[in-house]
Amino acid sequence: MDIIKFTSKKSFSIGFIGFVLVLLAALPLYAKGYTPILLTSIFMYVILSVSWTLFSGPTGYMSLATAAFFGVGIYTAAFLGKTLPLPVFIISGGLISSIVALLVGALTLRLRGIYFAIFTFGLVMLISNLLLFWELHAMETRGRFVVIVDYNTIYYTMLIIFVALMLTAYFIRRSKFGLALQSIGENEEAAAHIGINVTLVKVVNFAVSAFFIGAAGATIATRWTYVDPYIAFNPLFSFLPVLMAIFGGMGQLYGPVIGAVIFAYLQEILITRFAELYMLIFGVILVFSILYIPNGLVGLIQKWRKGGQAGEHASN
């Protein structure tokens, strides 16, 4: 009985996801102009938020390096976009971000808590200023133009990265690798003592997460057409994914997706209607959601499904 219920629920989910994917894939056929552009930017935020959660969710390491990986992807597109075909420079953007993550991770993943967060944020500043120095002194430029790509191609590229990321995140969550990640977040010392190579697990996961962030950066760069280090390494891209993930809830895979979709859409509306106020409204929503829905929208949904029977846990 239970099994039947379970499988029918599962095939319903798969059917629903398939349906949404077909709708999204066919979108440029029935919606022209603004809609694919809006959805591209929503996908971008979803990718950033899910990638951030992929690493920081289970491990509990608060990474603020998202803007660094994103910027590395953007600059990769700026450098390689004019000479290499699109898939090659997008994948390069992801790979170079991964390599940066491997190096940085190996150096810094021994830092815990606030120190790790600050170091990763420092990385954003460091790369940004190095590039700026190089632009100004070696190239005598300020920024650079990126190859222009039509918006449907950008849309499909973002969609593909999004689907690849969701599949990766889904399989990691279900794998023994995912279980190891969770155990590290719960108690790293105990994890190391039951045979988990904690450094390797963390660094590999960090690099996987950076890959998708870098690929998204390389893709969106083609829409921005002109980038400089301040645009490419905007610190907001370190913070927004965190806020979106917290708002959506990190307990489930779809949490950061919902959070990012709502936030990105809100941003789009607010920025056009209340250009000066939008950050303020953003902030207010955030404060309230952290105060009143600490487990995010996912937490709310689960509570509502269980009819409030979820037990409370006091620490002992």
Partner 1 sequence: MRVIEGERVTKYFGGLAAVSNVDFHVDNGEIVGLIGPNGAGKTTLFNLISAAIALKSGVIRFKGEKISGLKPYQICRMGVSRTFQSVKVFSNLSVLQNVMLGSLYGAPAGMSDADANSEATELLEFVGLSNVSMIPAKDLTLANQ
Residue 110 Cβ, how far from partner 1 at the closest point, in Å? 12
Beta strands 144-145 and 226-227 are: antiparallel
The closest alpha carbon to 71, from 204, 211, 213, belongs to 213
Nearer to partner 1, 176 or 273 (CB): 176
Binding mask 134-173 for partner 1 (x = CB under 8 A): ----------------------------------------
What counts of helices (H) and strands (E) characterise the chain?
15, 2
Task: Enumerate residues 294-313 that contact partner 1 by CB under 8 A.
Answer: 313
- Structure-token match 């190096």, residue found: 103
| Residue 142 C-beta: closest distance to partner 1, Å | 47
Give the binding-site size for partner 1 (rule: CB under 8 A). Answer: 20
Asked if 44 and 222 count as a contact pair (C-beta separation under 8 A), the reply is no
> Rounded to whole angstroms, how far apart are CA atoms 90 and 149?
12
Question: How many CB atoms are located within 10 Å of the residue 290 CB?
Answer: 13
Of the candidate spans 110-118, 164-172, 188-196, 293-301, the one that interacts with partner 1 by CB under 8 A turns out to be 188-196
Residue 186 binds partner 1, judged by CB under 8 A: yes
* Binds partner 1 (CB under 8 A): choice among 152, 168, 182, 295: 182
Asked whether position 72 contacts partner 1 by CB under 8 A, the answer is no
The 191-210 site mask, x for binding partner 1 (CB under 8 A), equals: xxxxxxxxx-----------
The CA-CA-CA angle for residues 279, 269, 228, to 5°, reads 60
CA–CA gap between residue 196 and residue 59 (Å, rounded): 13
**Cβ(209)–Cβ(52) below 8 Å:** yes
Q: Does 54 bind partner 1 (CB under 8 A)?
A: no
Residues that bind partner 1 in the complex, under the rule CB under 8 A: 176, 179-180, 182-183, 186-187, 189-199, 313, 316
